[in-house]
Amino acid sequence: MPDPVALALHGAMSRILQVSAERPGAYPTIGDALAVAPAGATIAVDPGTYYESLDLTGAVIQIAAAVPDPGDSSTGSGSNKANTEVILAGSAELDPIIRCRDGSVTLRGLTLRAGDSAAVDIEHATLKMEDCQLSAGFGPGARLSDRAEFSITGCTISGAHQGLVIEDSTGKVEGTTIRKIVADGVVVRHGADPVFRNCTIHGCGHRGVYVYQSGRPTIEGCDISDTGNEGIAVAQYSSPLLTRVYVHDTKGVGISFASGTSGEVDSCKIENTEEPGLQIADDATVNVIEATTSAAGLGMADAHKGDAEKVELLLADLDAMVGLTSVKAEVKAVIDEIQVNDWRRNAGLSIGGMSHHLIFAGAPGTGKTTVGRIYGQLLAALGVLPGGPLKEVSRRDLVGQYIGHTAEKTAAVFDECRGGVVFLDEAYALSRNAGAGGHDFGQEAIDMIVKLMEDMRNEIAVIAAGYTKEMLDFLDANPGLASRFVKTIEFENYSPEELALIITRIISTGDYTLAPDAEPLLLRHFTAVERGASFGNARDARKLFESLRKIQSQRLRRLGRKPTLDELREFTVADVSIAVTALA
C-alpha cells in the first residue's frame, strides 16, 4: 500500500494532463497520458467514449472528467448528456476497465462500461471513487480484495452480474445506489469490514446483501428492496452491525442469520417480505435492539410461481444462439419434462423424482457457460429454483490445503450459489490426484459435491463441464456421482459458417461494420484453421475480433487526421487479411 507521507508529497507536486480526442495539444487517449504521468498526477478527460482497459498497478494517479469550459458550446446542456459524459468502455471484453494493485487511484465523474469482467478491480491498493457510473456484463461492478482500502461516494452501479464484491478489505460506501443487478447486490466475505451509509440497493435477482466467510460489515441508514431472495443474508460465522436499515418488498425473508453467525440489529424496519421478516437460527448470537416487521406480502408460493412469459423469452434467447441444434433440443426436452411434471402435480397425479443437474461435454468456446446461464434462469422462471447466480468454479475454488479445508470451501461455494447454478468447469481436474502427501483433496471435493447435490437438490443446479472423454473419468470418481445428473448434453465444434456468423455478430454488436468483400476472408480462415486440442471455437472468433480492433486502431492513427464516423466503424479487407494472416 502506498505510504501516506509519500502520497502527500506526490499530491503537492501533482500536475494535470489533458486527454481529448479533439483538443489540440492534448493526449488522444488516457493510456498515452498514463505513459508519461508522474506519481500524483491528475488526468483530466474531455467528454467522449474511450475504448481502453487500464492497468494502474503501482501507480498513484487521479483520473477525472474534465470540468467543462462555460464558454465551450460543444459541451451542450443537461439535455444532451451524451456530449458531456466521459465513458470508458474497455478495450477487451475479459479485462477490467480499471485494474490496480499496490497503488492508489482516484476516479471522479466517469462512466465505466465493462464487458465480461469487473469495471473496477482493486487488489491491495487504495481506491477513492466519486460520482461514477459503473456497469458490467457478467462481472461485478467493482471488486475490492486483498486488503484494499476504499472510499466510494455518490456512485451508481447498475446492470452488472454483482454490484460490489468486497473481500479481506476495509473502507466506506456512502450515498451510493446499486440497482438492476443479476445476482447479489453486495457480497462481503473473507473478514471484510466495510461501512455502508445511506445507500440504496434495489432490483437484485438474488440477495440484496450477502455476508459470509466471517464478513463484518456495518450497514447504516440503507434502503434494500425488490430482491429475488433475502434482503440481507448472513452466513458462515459473519457478524454484521445493522442500524436503521429498511428492508422491504423482497421474495425471500427480509434479514436472515444462519447457524453460527452473530451481530446486531438496531432500529431496523422490515416490510412486505416472506415470513418471517427477521429469521435467526437457534444457535446464532444476534443482539436485536429494535426491529419492526410486517412480512405478509410475498410468501414462498408467490415467489416460486412459474412465469410463462419469461420462459418463452428465455427459450427465444436460446434459439437465437448460433448453431447448437442438438443442444437446444436437449435443453428444451428437460424443460418440457419439468413443465409436464408441474401440470401432473397440480392435477393430483404421481410424478417421479427428477434431478436438475447436467453434464455439458465438448470442446471450449462452444457456448456451454451461456447455455448454462439460460438453463438456470429457465429453472427459476419455471419455479423449480428460487433464482440466483451462475457461478463458474474450478478445482482451485473447491480444493483446500489440508484435511477438512476442501469440504469447507466446497460448501461455501454451494451456499453462495443457493437458488442458482454451480458451473463446474473442467470438472475432471478434480478426479486427478493432486493432493500433497498422497492425500487426494480433489476426491474430497467430489465426495462433498455428491452430498450437496442431494442435500440441496431443490435449491441448486450443478452443471459439470469439460471434454467428453475426460468427463467419463470424472463420473467414475464416486459411485453416486453419475446418478446425480439427469443427462449428458454434447456440444459439438462450430462449423466454419457458424464461426463466421459468430464473428459478424460480435462485430455488429461492437458497433463496427465489415467491408462487403471481407466476409469471404473470414469464412476461408475458419475453414482452414486447425481444429486440434487448443481450438477455441467462439473464443477464437473473439480473439480475431480483438485483433481486428487493434489493427484498425493502428491504421487510423496513421491517417494524420481525425477519422470519419464510417472510418471509425469499418473493418476493411486489408484489416481482415492482416488479422487472419497473423493468426494462421
Mean pLDDT of 327-338: 85
> Contact, 222 vs 197, CB < 8 A?
yes
Q: What is the CATH number of the domain that holds 543?
A: 1.10.8.60
Q: What is the CATH number of the domain that holds 375?
A: 3.40.50.300
Question: How many domains, the chain?
Answer: 3
Q: Domain check: are 542 and 447 in the same one?
A: no
Query: Does residue 287 form part of some domain?
Result: no
Of the residues 457, 491, 525, which one is the last residue of a structural domain?
Answer: 491
Query: Does residue 343 form part of some domain?
Result: yes
Residue (of 556, 475, 552, 571) closest to 514 by Cα position: 571
pLDDT for 172: 97
Q: Domain check: are 45 and 145 in the same one?
A: yes
Mean pLDDT of the chain: 84
Q: Is the pLDDT of residue 19 over 90?
A: yes
> Contact, 180 vs 161, CB < 8 A?
no
Confidence (pTM): 0.57
Query: Does residue 174 form part of some domain?
Result: no
Q: Domain check: are 487 and 543 in the same one?
A: no
Query: Does residue 231 form part of some domain?
Result: no
Of the residues 136, 160, 184, which one is the last residue of a structural domain?
Answer: 160
Q: Is the pLDDT of residue 1 over 70?
A: no
Q: Is the pLDDT of residue 273 over 70?
A: yes
pLDDT for 54: 93
Q: Domain check: are 451 and 318 in the same one?
A: yes
Of the residues 104, 135, 160, which one is the last residue of a structural domain?
Answer: 160
Q: Domain check: are 438 and 570 in the same one?
A: no
For residue 413, report the phi and psi dihedrals to the nearest 5 degrees. Answer: -60, -45
Q: Is the pLDDT of residue 150 over 90?
A: yes
Q: What is the CATH number of the domain that holds 87?
A: 2.160.20.10
Q: Domain check: are 7 and 21 in the same one?
A: yes
Q: Domain check: are 415 and 532 in the same one?
A: no
Q: How far apart are CA 365 and CA 494, in angstroms?
A: 9
Q: Domain check: are 46 and 128 in the same one?
A: yes
Q: How confident is the model at residue 306 (pLDDT cuts 50, 70, 90)?
A: low
Q: Domain check: are 424 and 550 in the same one?
A: no
Q: How confident is the model at residue 72 (pLDDT cuts 50, 70, 90)?
A: low
Q: How confident is the model at residue 299 (pLDDT cuts 50, 70, 90)?
A: very low
What is the amino acid identity at position 473? D
Domain that holds residue 524: 496-583
Query: Does residue 57 form part of some domain?
Result: yes
Q: Is the pLDDT of residue 484 over 80?
A: yes
Model confidence over 359-401: pLDDT tens digits?
Answer: 888 878 888 888 888 888 888 888 777 766 777 888 888 887 7
Q: How confident is the model at residue 152 (pLDDT cuts 50, 70, 90)?
A: very high
Q: Domain check: are 381 and 460 in the same one?
A: yes
DSSP for 371-440, please give it.
Answer: HHHHHHHHHHHTTSS----EEEE-HHHH--SSTTHHHHHHHHHHHHTTTSEEEETTGGGGGS---GGG--
Q: At what angle do helices 519-528 and 573-583 cross, to 10 degrees?
A: 10
Q: In the chain, how long is the greatest CA-to-CA distance?
A: 78
> Contact, 410 vs 366, CB < 8 A?
no
pLDDT for 76: 41
Q: Domain check: are 420 and 521 in the same one?
A: no
Q: How far apart are CA 462 and CA 215, in angstroms?
A: 26
Query: Does residue 439 form part of some domain?
Result: yes
pLDDT for 83: 58
Comparing 138 with 450, the larger pLDDT belongs to 450
Q: Is the pLDDT of residue 463 over 70?
A: yes
Query: Does residue 479 form part of some domain?
Result: yes
Q: How far apart are CA 120 and CA 142, in angstroms?
A: 5
Query: Does residue 177 form part of some domain?
Result: no
Model confidence over 254-265: pLDDT tens digits?
Answer: 999 999 999 999
Kindly report which listed range (296-310, 320-334, 346-360, 499-513) carries the lowest average pLDDT score: 296-310
Q: Is the pLDDT of residue 444 over 70?
A: yes
- The strand pair at 241-243 and 262-266 is best described as parallel
> Contact, 507 vs 571, CB < 8 A?
yes
Q: How confident is the model at residue 295 (pLDDT cuts 50, 70, 90)?
A: low
Q: How far apart are CA 81 and CA 65, in angstroms?
A: 13
Model confidence over 108-148: pLDDT tens digits?
Answer: 999 999 987 899 999 999 999 999 999 998 789 999 999 99
Q: Domain check: are 470 and 509 in the same one?
A: no
Q: Is the pLDDT of residue 435 over 70?
A: no
Q: How confident is the model at residue 198 (pLDDT cuts 50, 70, 90)?
A: very high
Mean pLDDT of 463-470: 84
Q: How far apart are CA 105 and CA 253, in angstroms?
A: 38
Mean pLDDT of 28-35: 92
Please provide the size of the chain in residues: 584
pLDDT for 471: 83
Kindly report which listed range (49-63, 254-268, 313-327) carries the lowest average pLDDT score: 313-327
pLDDT for 305: 47
Q: How confident is the model at residue 7 (pLDDT cuts 50, 70, 90)?
A: very low
**What's the DSSP call for residue 27?**
B
